[in-house]
Structures are given as structure tokens and as C-alpha cells.
Chain A
Amino acid sequence: MPLSVSVKGIHEGLLITPGEGNWEDAFSSLLEHLDSKPDFFFGAQAIIQLGSYPLHAADLATLRSALADRGLGLHSILSENPATVEAARSLGLGTSLPKRELKESPISTELRGMDAIFLQQTLRSGNSIHFPGHVTVLGDVNPGAEIIAGGSIIVWGHLRGTVHAGAQGDETSVVCAMDLSPMQLRIASHAATSPPRKGKTQPEIASLHDGRLVAEPWSPKDKPKAADGKIKGEDIQG
């Protein structure tokens, strides 16, 4: 029986809570969930919240290697079961997080908005940001850097790296940048590359219209219209 899996971005990485039931179902549902969004999870750190599941060291080791196969690091195991905590310790895993990290930010609940992070720095080659909510960067995103966000991506600077907005499937996500020249841009399951830029740069916004990736001048007053938008690059995934 498939069980629900919840994923939430926290300071240390992704807080993943498998559904309650028997562990076999929970484990296979978890893997299914990870496999459904491989890009999103690849390279992230997982904090697994196990509730009262009684797991042995061998189960945790299996979990850890299943995560590793999918490019996910196991940061720590949170459990209410003392035996599970002990088993996690014996594997050298973290078993607690600083208190503040688990608190829901009051603003996001009040506005019922999505969690977001703000980075005031240039992302350089090799930097990688995975976040389930929106990502805002005040700085450049250089070639070789990547941002994978569950929501939208806003770059107040040059965007020349790789970005994936709506990585969990949200087709309303957008990507905006002062200079939108990404190596590769994806929204949900659609991908495009940038043609070499000629002439002056201007702020642009990329979004999905009828299954096509469209980039157009970024002006907060206009509602994006598919018809006027120029197609940026070819859709490489049809």
C-alpha cells in the first residue's frame, strides 16, 4: 500500500517524513517518491524523520545506501524510538537538529506562501542550491552553478548557469533574471537552452505557456501573453 511522503526544506537540507504504517511500505513509497523527481533530490542532504518506526542498524544502512544511490546524502535520522536513535548513532549519523530549525517560519504560514530563500552572493561554478520553495539570488549565477527549486527562481544579476524551477512539477513557476542567458533552463518537465545573446540585455521572465517555454521582457505590470513572447531556444524535451 503506497504511503504519503512529505518533504520540506530546512537549514540543513531536506526534511523527509515517510508516511506511517509498516516500514516496508513506507520505505518503498519513499524510494518511489525520490525516483519520481530524481533531479530535485540529487546532491541534496536528507534529514529523515522516522516517528516511532523501530529500525535496526541494518535497516538504516539500507536506507542510507538507497539514498546514496540516488545522490542524496543522509544528514541525520530523527526518531522517537530510543532503539532507532541508538542504531543511528552506531552508524555515525546525526540524531538531532538544533531546535530552531524545525520551527515553521511564522511569515510563511500567515501568508500561506511557499517557503523561500534569499542568497546575497554570486553562485560560482560548482555551487548547487536545492530548495523546495522559491529561490532569490542577489548576485550572478555563473556557468557551472545550478539552482533547483520547487518554486520560482529570481536572479537579480546575470543568470548563466543551469536552473530548474518547479522541479516537483509546478508549471506555474517562473524564472526571472536581469540577464537571462542560462546554460539550460527548465520549468517543471520542459527544458530549453539559450541562443547566444546579441545586443543589449534586459530583464526577462521565462514561463510556461501551453507547454512551451517562453521568455519575454520582465515588466511586473504586464500579464505574460504567449502570443507576444519570443521562444527562447528550442524545447529539447518536446
Chain B
Amino acid sequence: MTAKVLTITSGKGGVGKTTATANIGVALAALGQKVVCIDSDIGLRNLDVVMGLENRIVYDLVDVIEGRARLRQAMIKDKRLPELHMIPAAQTRDKTAIAPSDMIRICDELRPEMDWILIDSPAGIERGFRNAIAASDTALIVTNPEVSAVRDADRIIGLLEAEQKGPGKLIINRIRPELVERGDMLETADVLEILAVELIGLIPEDESVLIATNRGNPAALEPKSKAGQAFRDIARRLMGEEVPFPPLDGTESLRNRLSRLIHPKGAS
């Protein structure tokens, strides 16, 4: 077994990185994959809360890096899904407590035992971002259909390219179809035209996310949640399955718009 390392990142804060990490982790584990989610947002940990594992923390990432605990001791096993694990961030330290080389070492140690390592990146483009992408095989860039979030995602994609970490894959979160239809929200096609990276997920704005977060029970565990379904679709796409994108925004199906983007001459 050699795990793939996915870094969930965005540039702009609050767009849904932690939500995406928890839900994709849950959805992959529900497909029988061995998964570990690592919170690299040192000092602002909250992946544990979103995953509902806060009360089980004994050791954290910095304890492992500084030798106070072994990796196994810091790794919390989820009781709902036996293949799901989480390593929490330290609460009382800052980003300088870890270096990119630490992340590479930890991921190398985890790789043989896991299928997927998901790293929840802090916002920003500084030290914390560099730590989070150091060991990354593929970045999942989370953005919202909003000009400033897209601008930051573009910046992040540029930085990833400069670090030879590939262009990454895009998740557009918090889509509100009624706003898109009224022309008050960026369309998926507009976002893709600027960012020009592969799309892997379209997540609707969904209050079940908020409720799930408060309960520590990620939406991907709720069969009826729309956002949960969208995250489960991402997991299947990561597994190599071809899952069509449901037409979330507007009347024209996304498939048509995508094909227009891909073959601009044919349809315009």
C-alpha cells in the first residue's frame, strides 16, 4: 500500500477546506479506503471538531515532530468508520513549530499503511501553506463562486505550479443555484475559464453542513444531505470512477458548458 497525499488548500480563509477534508476523508473511508486526515493548521485546529473527535485528543502533530509521542499514539481512530484516522494540530503553538521536512517525514512514515493521506492546510500563502504542500502528491484547491476566492485560488495554483506540485484539482464550494441563475454569482464555467484546472467537485451551499459540523458528524455520513452526496462523488472521482456532475447552476447543463469550454469552436 502506498498512500496518495492530498493537500486541501485555498489561499482565502473560510472557504471550506476543513469541511472538505473531513467529508472527503469520511467518504473515502466509507468506500473501504484506509484514510488519515492531518490537521496542519497549527494554533487554529478545528478538523477534530468538525470530525467529532475533539474529546479523544491526547497527543498532537507537534508532539510527534518534537518526539514526545510516536505517530501511532497521536493517530485517533474513528469509531464510526474503522479505516478512518485523524492527527490533530497543536492548539498552543504556531506554524513555526513545524517545517516542510517534518511533513515529508511524517507522510513517508504513514504512506505504507494508508491509501490516502489528507492534509488540511491553513489559509494564506506563507509558512503554513508551504508545510501543507511539502509532501503533497495532488492539491485539491477549494474555492467559492466569488471573485476574491477565485483570485486567491488562482494565486495558489500559480504557487503550486512554481513548486512543481502540478496544477491540482478544483472544488467549488457553497454554490447557490438561485443566485447563479439571477446572475449574482459566478458561474462554474466562468471559474473554470480563469483557473483552467480539472474540476473534481461542485458542492452546493447546504445548511446540513453547518448542522453536521456542530454535531461533529460530517455531512458525507448523512445519506440525504446534498452537500454530503457531492462529497461522496468527489471520493468516487478520486477512486478513478467517472461520476457526472449534476447540473447545479442555471438551466444549461454543466456538461454542455464544459464541452463548450473544451471545444470552444464547436458550440459558440
Given the complex, which residues of A lie within 8 Å of B209, measured CB to CB? none
Q: Taking the complex as formed, is B194 at the interface, i.e. its CB lies under 8 A from any CB of chain A?
A: yes
Residue of B nearest to A121 (CB): B161
Q: How far apart sit A124 and B152, CA to CA, in the bound complex (Å)?
A: 10
Q: Taking the complex as formed, is A136 at the interface, i.e. its CB lies under 8 A from any CB of chain B?
A: no
Chain B stretch 135-161: residues in CB contact (< 8 A) with chain A: 147, 151-152, 154-155, 157-159, 161
Residue of B nearest to A127 (CB): B158
Q: Are B158 and A126 in contact (CB under 8 A)?
A: yes
Q: How far apart sit A122 and B196, CA to CA, in the bound complex (Å)?
A: 9
Given the complex, which residues of B lie within 8 Å of A200, measured CB to CB? 268
Interface residue tally of chain B, by bracket?
Answer: 10 to 19
B177-196: contact bitstring with A at CB < 8 Å (1 yes, 0 no)? 00000000000000001101
Give the A-B pair count, Cβ closer than 8 A: 32
Q: Taking the complex as formed, is A134 at the interface, i.e. its CB lies under 8 A from any CB of chain B?
A: no
Q: Taking the complex as formed, is A108 at the interface, i.e. its CB lies under 8 A from any CB of chain B?
A: no
Given the complex, which residues of B lie within 8 Å of A127, measured CB to CB? 158
A166-204: contact bitstring with B at CB < 8 Å (1 yes, 0 no)? 000000000000000000000000000000000010000
Q: Taking the complex as formed, is A142 at the interface, i.e. its CB lies under 8 A from any CB of chain B?
A: yes
Q: Are A125 and B155 in contact (CB under 8 A)?
A: yes
Report A20 CB to chain B, min CB distance, Å: 39
Q: How far apart sit A160 and B161, CA to CA, in the bound complex (Å)?
A: 20
Chain B stretch 154-173: residues in CB contact (< 8 A) with chain A: 154-155, 157-159, 161
Q: Are A144 and B196 in contact (CB under 8 A)?
A: no
Q: Taking the complex as formed, is A150 at the interface, i.e. its CB lies under 8 A from any CB of chain B?
A: no
Q: Taking the complex as formed, is A146 at the interface, i.e. its CB lies under 8 A from any CB of chain B?
A: no
Name, among B154, B196, B268, the residue most crowded by chain A CB atoms within 10 Å (CB to CB).
Answer: B154
Inter-chain pairs besides A143-B147, A200-B268, 18 sampled, C-beta below 8 Å: A121-B161, A123-B158, A124-B157, A124-B158, A124-B161, A125-B151, A125-B155, A126-B154, A126-B158, A140-B194, A140-B196, A142-B154, A142-B194, A143-B154, A143-B194, A144-B154, A158-B193, A160-B194
Cross-chain pairs A/B with CB under 8 angstroms, 18 sampled = A123-B158, A124-B154, A124-B157, A124-B158, A125-B151, A125-B152, A125-B154, A125-B155, A126-B154, A126-B158, A126-B159, A140-B194, A142-B194, A143-B147, A143-B151, A144-B154, A158-B193, A160-B194
Please give the residue numbers on chain B whose beta carbons come within 8 Å of chain A beta carbons, in ascending order.
147, 151-152, 154-155, 157-159, 161, 193-194, 196, 268
